Amino acid sequence: FFLSLKLEKKTKGKLQKQICQVVLDHFEKQYTAELGDAWSSVRDVLTSPWCWQHALLLNRFSQSPGLESSLAEQGFSPAFAAALPYLPAALRCYIRTAPGRFPSQKHQPGKLKEYYLLNAASLLPVLALEVKDGEDVLDLCAAPGGKSVAILQCACPGNFHCNEYDDLRSRWLEQTIESFIPDALINLIVVSKLDGRQIGDLQPEFYDKVLVDAPCSNDRSWLFSADPQQAVLRLTQRKELSSLQFQLLSSALKALRPGGSLVYSTCTLSKAENSDVINLILSSCRNVVPVDLSEMARGVSQEFTFLSGMQQHELLVLPEKGRAWGPMYVAKLKKTSST
């Protein structure tokens, strides 16, 4: 009872977060132009935290006997029920249509957590990457670590390099890995704090698979910027993000072996940070081809709402009530030869 009371108070506190009007006005103008009629229903979800949902990614390294039956009793069911091109049996994610957040587990040194709370759409880049056992994998912008943890639920890479340039976020990444991954596997993981734009030159053609979950204008959190001045600064700097994203992608492609695959993802709806960045890479790199994601999209269409009219190598998840996942943009590329 005390736990539920505590959770209720915490939730009410979160709901009192104020929407930042300057950000909403900016989004209103931009996304009405870019998304058309779809924007109004997306806006309703993004501005209503009480209808947001959280998925549970179960940790295969820390099995809890009664957890799955307990989740079923609370209305959760397995995500990704349909046949997908890539869905390892060990990747188990539970979702429910009801909003609300499942209690998170505290970090305890020496004890592995049983599940990771996340936006279910953030697993799509991992499913698109299709990591197999023994492959050399780079997670270029890895903090806070959810996608790194998800990759390790799918397969055991030969080398797994998790990079995070920001010092504070890098410590967060290390703690996430320590909370979910056993010591025997941690020895296979390299955590670095390199500038992602330099990794391609430092480790050319070293990796089979690269994930670039790029720094972006996070639509959900930006809408609740507590400091209006910081919000104005963020919106001013927003124009520079696509340049950084392009540089990170260029570096990631250098780090990729010929025949290797790269997945690019963001948690923004912004076309400038999504399709425009990918189109620029495709038009400026001769040795890169797009990879069709439409089969994966069909397989997860029960769980997610996608923006129509996208190209076959890209997806944009639109949050809607009852399926409040996203925003999440995913694009997949393949390197055909050396530069």
- Annotated binding residue at 141? yes
Residue type, 97: T
- Annotated binding residue at 200? no
- Annotated binding residue at 143? yes
Distant-in-sequence, close-in-space partners of 155: CB < 8 Å, separation ≥ 6 = 88, 131, 132, 133, 135
Closest to 118 (Cα-Cα) out of 15, 5, 267: 267
- Annotated binding residue at 158? no
- Annotated binding residue at 147? yes
3-state SS record for 223-270: CCCCCHHHHHHHHHHHHHHHHHHHHHHHHHHHHEEEEEEEEEEECCCC
- Annotated binding residue at 109? no
Residue 328: burial class (beta carbons within 10 Å; 0-12, 13-18, 19+): buried
Distant-in-sequence, close-in-space partners of 238: CB < 8 Å, separation ≥ 6 = 217, 270
Among candidate residues 20, 162, 216, 267, the one labeled active-site is 267
Question: Could you give the CA distance from residue 319 to residue 326 in angstroms, rounded to a whole number?
Answer: 5
Would residue 162 show up in a list of annotated catalytic residues for this protein? no
- Annotated binding residue at 216? no
- Annotated binding residue at 98? no
190: left (phi over 0), alpha (psi -120 to 50) or beta: beta
Q: By the 8 A CB rule, do 105 and 95 touch?
A: no
Distant-in-sequence, close-in-space partners of 159: CB < 8 Å, separation ≥ 6 = 136, 137, 188, 190
- Annotated binding residue at 166? no
Residue with tokens 């734009």: 197
Q: Which two tokens stand for residue 112?
A: 């592995």
Q: By the 8 A CB rule, do 296 and 305 touch?
A: no
- Annotated binding residue at 25? no
Number of H helices, E strands in the chain: 13, 12
What element of type H or E holds 192? strand 189-192
In this structure, the number of other CB atoms found within 10 A of the CB of residue 92 comes to: 18
Annotated binding site for S-adenosyl-L-methionine: 141-147, 164, 195, 213
Annotated binding site: 141-147, 164, 195, 213
Q: Which residues are catalytic?
A: 267
